[in-house]
Amino acid sequence: MNEEYKTIGAQLDRCIRYLAEHGGLRKGHTVVLGCSTSEVAGGHIGKDSVPELGDAIAKAMIETCNDLGLHPVFQCCEHLNRALVMEREVLDRLRLTQVNVMPVPKAGGSAGAAAYKRFDSPAVAISMEADAAIDVGDTLVGMHIRPVAVPLRMEGEEAKVGHAHVVMAYARLPFIGGSRAQYPQR
């Protein structure tokens, strides 16, 4: 793997760890990654897909999530209706609706296609409500976070993976009950 891809993997690792810490993620939580390798490489989303970079990103996401006890999920591009690639065990445990497709770089995205190859038993779901998400390159990953999504952004240069803008979010429980209700500390 070239040095630039190692740096990009390390940037993503920092983002995942920051999200896990600041979002209060616990073992077993799901984290969706929406990623434009075009944007990470300095190009325009959907125009300059980089399969080798997608593999480096998938590797970093899977390894860091596994290290933290989280379940990595990859959002595909709009050509596959932003379907989600994950291990079959996660799809089955969450009782998600599976779809029949195999992502490839030009229809699914480079990171999603690489994740499909890297997972032991890959499966693709049409949608989900994840515990948290990372959006690398403005891929609109928020549609896959359960309510209520709380935006989280790192400051400075750490808020990028390669050349791509990064925004993260985690889900919190909705507050109910009005002014008389009391809430436990998170």
So where are the chain's domains? 3-173
Q: Are strands 71-75 and 30-35 parallel, antiparallel or unpaired?
A: parallel
Q: Do residues 132 and 24 make contact, with C-beta atoms less than 8 angstroms apart?
A: no
DSSP H or E segment with residue 90: helix 88-94
Cβ atoms of 125 and 99 within 8 Å: the answer is: yes
Classify domain 3-173 at the CATH topology level.
Answer: Rossmann fold (3.40.50)
**pLDDT of 171 over the 80 cut:** yes
45-96 per-position pLDDT tens digit: 878 889 999 999 999 999 999 999 999 999 999 899 999 999 999 999 999 9
CA distances from 81 to 3, 88, 93, 110, 146 (A): 33, 19, 22, 15, 18
pTM: 0.93
